[in-house]
Structure 1
């Protein structure tokens, strides 16, 4: 996938009718906790919409969705049993499955068919291509997926990662620190860091971006994941959760303002215009791909999933290397006709 123009955020989305729901009595609801990978934002708002519209309640689920502190944090929360479901990066899950195969959650619905991993810098830095990164600093929280996967980007582009100084920082400060010149580059989800930089006064023409997928790092992005014990012992619960979630994904894609409103209800300080742009950019770059247009969202291409696992395992020296079945299970997905993109 080629990086879209930074000025072009438009995405043609059609309307999706929402039939009426009949929720089960409160006494029949199963309590479920879900953790997001980051703060409430437009791109991750579909679960919030499923809560607000009663889609989960109609399936007998009383769902609470909490903000998170990165994909690693989300994985740990689900693995520990504190949360039943999460939304996190599949690449981090591969590493987790190698290190803790008995505790690792399992992905059950891929929402981001492309990885959002990216690096941003200012044009004034003189960094125009990956080879120019040597001798410069890269800042981000240690739990940031793009930060953790930088070795894969370095290997794919042939640069020496040891020559790039990596600086741990608060995730809410990274864009500000880049604009102040306190670091030369930052890593982050493409749709998130780009919109945050604009919100802090940067102009599109002042920025240079490196989307990992444009340089041969062909990883999946975020997926819905669940405790492995729940997947094994209560498959119907997982199917119910995904049925409601898929419905909300389609609704948010068809009407992005619904997702923005749900996120803003949780964080009144959100800039609705910026969140709408962030959501559309995420959909354009991560969800609408050749594969999902042909097959719908949620599933994985087996050969591509194996390549991703092989590449991640090779870069990080994972031993044992997880199998695709340890990482992703498509058996809980709704029928393909219910996962067609609007």
Structure 2
């Protein structure tokens, strides 16, 4: 009997030692994760993120943040998908299909004006200057905006530059009703201009110009009218969040911290952005995307305002004017409250958003 009792006691002692080892091992792993700045797997918050378009150079900072574990370090398990236009990205976030997205803030202004009480919020302005514009070829004879009258415009209906074309026309004194619109898929837009089936197109500068060059058009044969050059002081793309996610400030702040860190790195070394995009899409034309990223950084992201105030924020007075102008361009009955379109309360401190001059 004494032997049996001793065996039972020995077994209990071994089980106790095993449990202790497992407990200590778990504590060690948790401590190591904390030191590395990575939350334990059980603490990860899942987030579905949608881009406005395919994986390209200008959106590569998001991929860098994902690949380098910056989101994971904030306790976020981020799933990232390409999109099919800004309006679609806004709808994805508004319906809750996605928690967070990257979209044209002007499409957001329109959505919020039509959906009071269900507003989607922009929390980080990425494109301080918009990339919107009109593009044509010298062979069309179009040399100034007034020459667009009576011509044929080709664009996807959801294209942000197309949707803001009436506002551009108003700024330059053009009667937009004289322009014939041809609905094109994004894949056919630049090709249709090259072939001559349309006279001009709308599109992001860093997309349309480079896509035309990729089709054999010489840079000197491209004529572009960028909206920002004609006193259209609107903003471009930003990070937007669903109403449900707006109630989780720590999650939003963590996402923005990770994103700002990656964007600063890409601004300082664009090659890491292109490498991240190429990893996601092996067929990516890396030279083309490097130029696209360079154009977007110089023209849309690293503006004088951003260099002085850091990425992500807006000038309140300028933003209020842009909301009013966009509402008028879209023929909205009223303009939404600017505070219900953009909020800077989730942004990291200014020091963490500053970029090299």
TM superposition score normalised by structure 2: 0.88
Is the counterpart of residue 29 in structure 1 residue 38 in structure 2?
no
- Give the equivalent residue in structure 2 for 1:318: 332
Give yes or no for the alignment of 1:192 onto 2:227: no
Q: Is the 8 A contact 1:21 1:54 kept in 2?
A: no
Q: Which of 250, 259, 263 does residue 249 from structure 1 map onto? A: 263
Structure with larger RCO (C-alpha < 8 A, sep 6+): 1
Unaligned runs of 5+ in 1: 1-19
Alignment partner of 2:159 out of 137, 144, 147: 144
1:260 maps to which of 260, 274, 288: 274
Deviations 1:74-97 (A, max 9, x none): 000000100001001111111111
Say which SS state the counterpart of residue 59 (structure 2) adopts: coil
One of 298, 304, 308 as aligned partner of 2:322: 308
Aligned match of 1:240: 254
Partner of 1:176: 191
- Which is higher, the Rg of structure 1 or of structure 2? 2
Match of residue 76 from structure 1: 91
Q: Quick check: 1:113 aligned with 2:157?
A: no
8 Å contact kept, 2:164–2:330: no
Q: What is the rounded CA distance, in whole Å, between the counterparts of 1:293 and 1:92 in structure 2?
A: 26
Report 1:1-342 matches (<5 A). Answer: 21-231=36-246, 233-342=247-356
1:315-339 CA deviation, whole Å, 9 max, x = no partner? 2232231011110000000000000
Q: Secondary structure at the match of 2:187?
A: coil
- Cα distance, 1:191 vs. partner? 0.6
Partner SS, residue 45 of structure 1: helix
Confirm or deny: 8 A CA contact 2:102 2:239 kept in the other structure.
Answer: yes
Change (3 A) 1:21 1:209: farther
Provide the C-alpha distance between the structure 2 equivalents of 1:21 and 1:298, rounded to a whole number of angstroms: 27
Contact 2:131 2:226 in 1 (8 A): yes
Aligned to 1:7: none
Number of residue equivalences: 322
CA distance in 1, matches of 2:213, 2:241: 34
Question: Aligned to 2:57, what secondary structure does the other structure show?
Answer: coil
Q: CA RMSD in A?
A: 1.1
Q: Secondary structure at the match of 1:88?
A: strand
